[in-house]
Structure 1
Amino acid sequence: MTDGTAPRRRGRPARTAAAQGPDTRARILDAARTEFAERGYDKTTMRGIARAACVDAALVHHYFGTKDDVFAAAIEVSFEPALALTAILQETGAGGDALAGIGERMAAHFIGVWEDPVSRTPLLAIVRSALTNEAAAAVLRGFVLRRLLERLAAELDVPDPRLRAELAAAQMIGIAVLRYVIEVEPLASADPQEIVRLVAPTLQNYFTAAPPPA
């Protein structure tokens, strides 16, 4: 004997849960960023994200599908390449030369984003996960490297702009891993402005140095 209630379809959230709207979706994304940042991609589960967001796991699948999808969505909403490019490529110097001081601007912007606890969480999720999982590494290549570095390279009127942009990114990602992920001293406790001061000339060299003679 039944109570007359239509059976719930497997894999779909109840109508009342699905109707909670964008606030529920945003809550899931917030929980996903925290889970990925603290646990990395491999140890994060859809059930764990649901538990952290206080929703049913079926609701996470309803909004995002797979773990790859929720990871990509959590990172995408946190990453705004246009803002980074504006900060790095602002015209300065004689004649509005975009390369004048670009090393210092890139270092200052990058360290500033990592020093902000709000933006540090999704960045930790990207780096920790990409180090151990190919799916997460693919997201890093797509959302960070392609959408930022390719656009940055397109603005550089120098030989091998893509290679130069990637070398600069490698320098900053290496600093991020040692300072914020592994927390190697004394780098982990160094003053952010001192890091910018020491790193900026190297980044500037990547973007402006003439290639060696053939």
Structure 2
Amino acid sequence: MSPRGRRPGGADTRQAIVEAARVDFAEQGYDGTSLRGIARRAEVDPALVHHYFGGKPQLFAAVMDIPVDPSALIGAVLAGPRDRIGEALVRTFLRVWDDEAGRQRFQALVRAAVTHEEATRMLREFLVREVFGRVVRELATEGPEEPSGADQPALEVRAGLAASQMIGLAMMRYIVEFPAVVEATHDELAALVGPTLQRYLVG
């Protein structure tokens, strides 16, 4: 008989965590999912989830096949000049998705989001919580006053508009393949789209 208890570390354990996370994210959304709950479903020690993935954003990236650590990318953007946050986000986004493998991943991500309600909710909550929402929140706390609870809806609207701008750009470049947008360089797109993102994010 095989011993009962938590699963030891190893390649099978990492895959079990990803599969458990996929179920939890689908059932509970990004916000409602906890690493402890994923560990319980995967029958592993919660420390192993942190060991393999570091945190929830990295685990979500693995589940959705996003090829980078989103927390590290957004941290690098926020570490740069505040008056160029919009441009930095455009350049970062394009670096991640512009090669052939990145295009294919983005296309698969969009297909999942538009055909499965669970994937739509996961992606929406992730973008608001860990990407554009994080940028808006951190920039807001740098003002002369801390944002109040009453300010939260306005911050979420700004994060949502910033997300819509970048997703729209990606749709035209990678899905619709509008020629002028496909042929534009990173510098051109950063110069054109960056100021709009800056206005949404910084206010």
Match of 2:105 among 117, 122, 126: 122
Please report how far the alpha carbon of residue 74 of structure 1 lies from its aligned counterpart in structure 2 after TM superposition: 2.9
Please report how far the alpha carbon of residue 187 of structure 1 lies from its aligned counterpart in structure 2 after TM superposition: 1.4
Please report how far the alpha carbon of residue 89 of structure 1 lies from its aligned counterpart in structure 2 after TM superposition: 0.9
Instruction: Rate the CA distance shift 1:133–1:208 in 2: closer, same or farther, 3 A.
Output: same
**Gaps (5+ residues) in structure 2?**
1-9, 19-41, 43-59, 144-150
- Note the alpha carbon deviations across 1:69-113, whole angstroms, 9 max, x for none: xx9853166452212211321142xxxxx3x21111111111221
Match of 1:171 among 165, 172, 176: 165
1:82 is aligned to 2:71: yes
Structure 2 length as normaliser, TM-score? 0.58
Please report how far the alpha carbon of residue 177 of structure 1 lies from its aligned counterpart in structure 2 after TM superposition: 0.8
* Equivalent residues of 1:128, 1:181 under 8 A apart: no
Instruction: Rate the CA distance shift 1:109–1:77 in 2: closer, same or farther, 3 A.
Output: closer
* Equivalent residues of 1:81, 1:148 under 8 A apart: yes
Instruction: Rate the CA distance shift 1:183–1:77 in 2: closer, same or farther, 3 A.
Output: closer
* Equivalent residues of 1:87, 1:105 under 8 A apart: no
1:22 is aligned to 2:11: yes
Q: Secondary structure at the match of 2:63?
A: helix
Structure 1 length as normaliser, TM-score? 0.56
Q: 2:104 & 2:12 partners in 1: Cα distance?
A: 20
* Equivalent residues of 1:130, 1:140 under 8 A apart: yes
* CA RMSD, Structure 1 to Structure 2 (Å): 3.8
Please report how far the alpha carbon of residue 149 of structure 1 lies from its aligned counterpart in structure 2 after TM superposition: 2.8
* Equivalent residues of 1:81, 1:144 under 8 A apart: no
Q: 2:75 & 2:200 partners in 1: Cα distance?
A: 19
Please report how far the alpha carbon of residue 194 of structure 1 lies from its aligned counterpart in structure 2 after TM superposition: 1.2
Q: 1:197 & 1:126 partners in 2: Cα distance?
A: 26
Match of 1:154 among 120, 134, 137: 137
* Equivalent residues of 1:164, 1:207 under 8 A apart: yes
Sequence identity of aligned pairs in percent?
38
Q: Secondary structure at the match of 1:101?
A: helix
Partner residue of 2:115?
132
**Gaps (5+ residues) in structure 1?**
1-20, 30-62, 64-70, 93-97, 210-214
Q: Secondary structure at the match of 1:155?
A: helix
Determine which structure has the larger helix proportion and give its number: 2
